[in-house]
Structure 1
Amino acid sequence: MRSDRLRIATYNIHKGVRGTGPAKRLEIHALQRGVHELGADLVCLQEVRAHHQGDARRFHRHWPQQQQADFLAPDGYQVAYRSNAYTRGGEHGNALLSRLPLVDIAHHDVSDHRLEQRGLLHVTLQWLDAPLHVLVMHLGLFHGSRLRQVQALGRYLGARVPAHERLLVAGDFNDWREQLDPSMGLLGLQRAVVARTFPARAPLFALDRVYLRGLEALHAEVPRGAPWVRMSDHLPLLVEVRAL
């Protein structure tokens, strides 16, 4: 890795399980191997669990003792995790696995209505002798909600992230109709790449994204193949970036 470049991954891991009812299966161990194979310096994860009583009972022989973010982190990586949604028997949220040291961790609620609990994870890193801000998000299922969540992101950035500092925003944007780029552009954020990641078996939609400020995208890829289509309903997105 060159010192002025970073390899970024964003991945919705679907809480480490797939399927429903009797066909439900645990995928967190395969996901651990997959995250290691990505070889990313920063791994932005969505739908990550700290705990879930039902799944822990069902898969008690193989359910990790650690929280999922800690379990997935490669050796030597630091972990930031914050819950977004609290559900019956458990919760889930966003995480960042970082090869770079963490300077600060913050969480901000961007829920738009009572039926969906959403939040952003803000991690400040030190890179190239300057702050690098990484925000991990998982936006809502309705277009109006997503627009308001982007507006909430803008207010948060205005209050918490200096305009001259490098910034990347990554996650599952649920933007089926490709309507959010202009709103993100008004915040000074440019989309790194358009790459289809959902559904994993036959991707048609570019829901998983990385937006950049003060950084340039050099290369992007979407890992495919048998292991990846089983592990989650999304495929991971990998982007190599360079500092401007």
Structure 2
Amino acid sequence: MTVISHDAASSWGDSFPHPALMTILELSTASVCCTLRSARHMSELTKRMAMELSVMTFNIHKGKHAILTSRTLSRIRDFLASHSVDIVFLQEVIGSDPGEADYDQVKYLADGLSSQFCYGKNLIVDSYHHGNAILSRYPIVDWKNEDLSTNKYEKRGVLEATIQLPNQVLAKAFCCHLNLLRGSRRTQINRIAKIIDDQVAGFNGPFFVGGDFNDWQQDASRIFEEPTWREVGRESDDSHFLTFPSWFPSIALDRIYYRSAELINAETTTFGKLGFLSDHLPVLAKFKIP
């Protein structure tokens, strides 16, 4: 390293700082600015990099035991927490029941998981109501509930949420619970497909449709599984997962359809030591979001 003495500096006279030194300083400043720009660029690239996203659908049977009348909501919350899911579709969730201490089940579950949530009422009787809910680790920037009821006996709906993912991608999430009667169920499936089709154009993010389809004839698959749509059970196991009843799964009612995402893995999840939490088994899937 060359050391510049005071005398040498003085000999530059009016030329101090020396042009050579100014060049070094300018190059150093340019290098720092370039480094900062590169850091900002890398930060933006990181935000846009592919991320993993876990999605679950679970009919919680109003937080009661599948066979007995005991309450299961606290254990359901423990179950959800143990799986650390990013987005959860819930069906048969009580939003208000004056006769129950934990009548707002959605808030109870969301608070326990530190999640954002939205809730759509389907069945309303006086001050009691239940419906579908979406819990999300990430911000829910918009949501709405569409009434799908086709008769006065089965009050159904589809809950739609737009979710801001951390890689600057918006995701569309639809949670549904469909009719037991086939004819009206097919009408509901077509209505959901129409709602989604109206939003696909110009939207580059992933779509997820999860819920209790009550669709043992697989009508939903014939409508949804077009070239751009997939269902997690059929993609990972060549058939829809058997989810009902939870103690002897023999019917495929609960599903997650998706598009504009890459499936990593999917499975039905049992309750283990927590015992029977619902008459349905949850479906859990992990995706890569480009």
Shared fold (TM-score, shorter chain, > 0.5)? yes
Report the 3-state secondary structure (helix = DSSP H, G, I; strand = E; otherwise coil) of the residue aligned with 1:111.
Answer: coil
Alignment match, 2:21: none
Runs of 4+ in structure 1 deviating by more than 6 angstroms, as ranges, are none
Structure 1 residue 154: Cα displacement:
2.0
For the 8 Å contact 2:122–2:131, the answer to whether it is kept is yes
Task: Report the CA distance shift for 1:11/1:53 in structure 2 as closer, same or farther (over 3 A).
Answer: same
* Structure 1 letter corresponding to 2:140: L
Distance 1:229 1:89 in 2: 31
CA distance in 1 between partners of 2:183 and 2:91 (Å): 21
Of 257, 262, 268, the residue aligned with 1:211 is: 257
Higher strand proportion (structure 1 or 2): 1
| Aligned pairs (5 A) from 1:22-101 | 23-54=68-99, 56=100, 63-64=101-102, 67-73=104-110, 74-87=112-125, 90-101=128-139
The 5 A counterparts of 1:174-213 are: 174-186=214-226, 188-193=228-233, 194-213=240-259
Q: Quick one: higher RCO (CA 8 Å, sep 6+), 1 or 2?
A: 1
1:114 paired to 2:148 = no
Q: How does 1:12-27 map to 2 (within 5 A)?
A: 12-18=59-65, 23-27=68-72
As a proportion of its length, which structure holds more helix? Answer: 2
Distance 2:216 2:74 in 1: 30
- For 1:163 and 1:181, the matched residues in 2 are separated by 24
Distance of 2:62 and 2:227 partners within structure 1: 30
Contact 1:134 1:168 in 2 (8 A): yes
1:143 maps onto 2:143 in alignment? no
Alpha-carbon distance between aligned partners in 1 of 2:201 and 2:118, rounded to the nearest angstrom: 21
Query: CA 1:119 to 1:161, structure 2 compared with 1: closer, same or farther past 3 Å?
Result: farther
Q: CA separation in 1, counterparts of 2:124 and 2:269?
A: 31
CA distance in 2, matches of 1:119, 1:25: 27
Residue 16 of structure 1 aligns to which amino acid in structure 2? G
- Partner Cα separation in structure 1 for residue 274 and residue 252 of structure 2: 16
Letter in 1 for 2:283: L
Gaps of 5+ in 2: 1-48, 234-239
- For the pair shown, the structure with the greater C-alpha radius of gyration is 2
1:149 positional shift: 0.4
Q: 1: distance between equivalents of 2:131 and 2:256?
A: 18
> Taking structure 2 as the reference length, what is the TM-score of the superposition?
0.74
Equivalent residue letter for 1:34: F
Task: State the SS of the aligned residue for 1:150.
Answer: helix
Q: What corresponds to 2:169 in structure 1?
A: 130
Q: Over residues 71-121 of structure 1, what are the superposed CA-to-partner deviations in whole Å (9 max), with x where a residue is unaligned?
A: 112443111111111136621111111111111011111112221111111
Q: Which amino acid aligns with 2:114?
A: G
**SS of corresponding position for 1:92:** strand
C-alpha displacement at 1:187, in angstroms? Answer: 9.1
Q: Counterpart of 2:75 in structure 1: which amino acid?
A: A
